[in-house]
Chain A
Amino acid sequence: DAKTTQPPSMDCAEGRAANLPCNHSTISGNEYVYWYRQIHSQGPQYIIHGLKNNETNEMASLIITEDRKSSTLILPHATLRDTAVYYCIASSNDYKLSFGAGTTVTVRA
């Protein structure tokens, strides 16, 4: 699976949109981009995934660049409960998810 690179941390204000970047410059054509998050001392939670097209669900939006070398997860209206570690994962299937260091997102009131 392709290596992903994320900033180690970021802060955002409650009620504002949070944009989380992820680089996956070596991603192959059959690899999806997955986003999970982990709130402290809990199991990870699935957020969204995509292959080529932008995706949106009730939690977030995923914007994938045309060359697929990077993506951005958008939390449209961040709340304090969105404080967590966010993981961007490139995987050709969901049999194995390789978690990197992720981005620690802190939402401040």
Chain B
Amino acid sequence: GAVVSQHPSWVICKSGTSVKIECRSLDFQATTMFWYRQFPKQSLMLMATSNEGSKATYEQGVEKDKFLINHASLTLSTLTVTSAHPEDSSFYICSARDLRDSYEQYFGPGTRLTVT
């Protein structure tokens, strides 16, 4: 099956700094990627939809200036958490749709962010 990778798998940063998370589709092209956030013992919450070559679409309540998303190519989307605070500590997961298969989303392994 198709593979989506994320880097880094975990990161610890200080409050006030910015952190960039990469999401790559390794063996397929993806026009659309999605970013989710998951707090402990909770379900995944969709943050934004990332479209290659255009601006991301954010879900209600998600600050677009705080969570910067860039989808510069068909295989890479990045999420930058700016001015991170401890409440941003979470598990961030991306997913991607294969252009050849319109029904299935492939998820990355997730990135554990801890802000101290």
**B43–A94 CB distance below 8 A:** no
A44 to B105, CA, bound (A): 9
Type the 1/0 row for B30-44, where 1 means its CB is closer than 8 Å to any CB of A: 001010100000011
B contact residues, total (Cβ < 8 Å): 24
**A95–B95 CB distance below 8 A:** no
Binds A, one of B14-22, B64-72, B74-82, B107-115: B107-115
Binds B, one of A17-25, A66-74, A99-107: A99-107
| A43 interface residue per 8 A CB criterion | yes
Q: List 13 A-B contacts (CB under 8 A).
A: A41-B110, A43-B6, A43-B95, A43-B109, A45-B107, A46-B105, A46-B106, A46-B107, A94-B104, A95-B49, A97-B46, A97-B105, A102-B43
Closest Cβ neighbor of B93 among chain A residues? A43
Distance in angstroms from B16 CB to nearest chain A CB is 27
Q: Which residues of B contact A38 (CB under 8 A)?
A: 44
Type the 1/0 row for A50-68, where 1 means its CB is closer than 8 Å to any CB of B: 0000000000000000000
| B54 interface residue per 8 A CB criterion | no
Q: Which residues of A contact B43 (CB under 8 A)?
A: 87, 99-102
**B46–A43 CB distance below 8 A:** no
Q: Which residues of B contact A43 (CB under 8 A)?
A: 4, 6, 93, 95, 107-110
Distance in angstroms from A99 CB to nearest chain B CB is 4
Q: Which residues of A contact B24 (CB under 8 A)?
A: none
- Select A99's contact among B44, B103, B106, B112, beta carbons within 8 Å: B44
A45 to B36, CA, bound (A): 14
Closest Cβ neighbor of B94 among chain A residues? A43
A38 to B91, CA, bound (A): 13
**A94–B49 CB distance below 8 A:** no
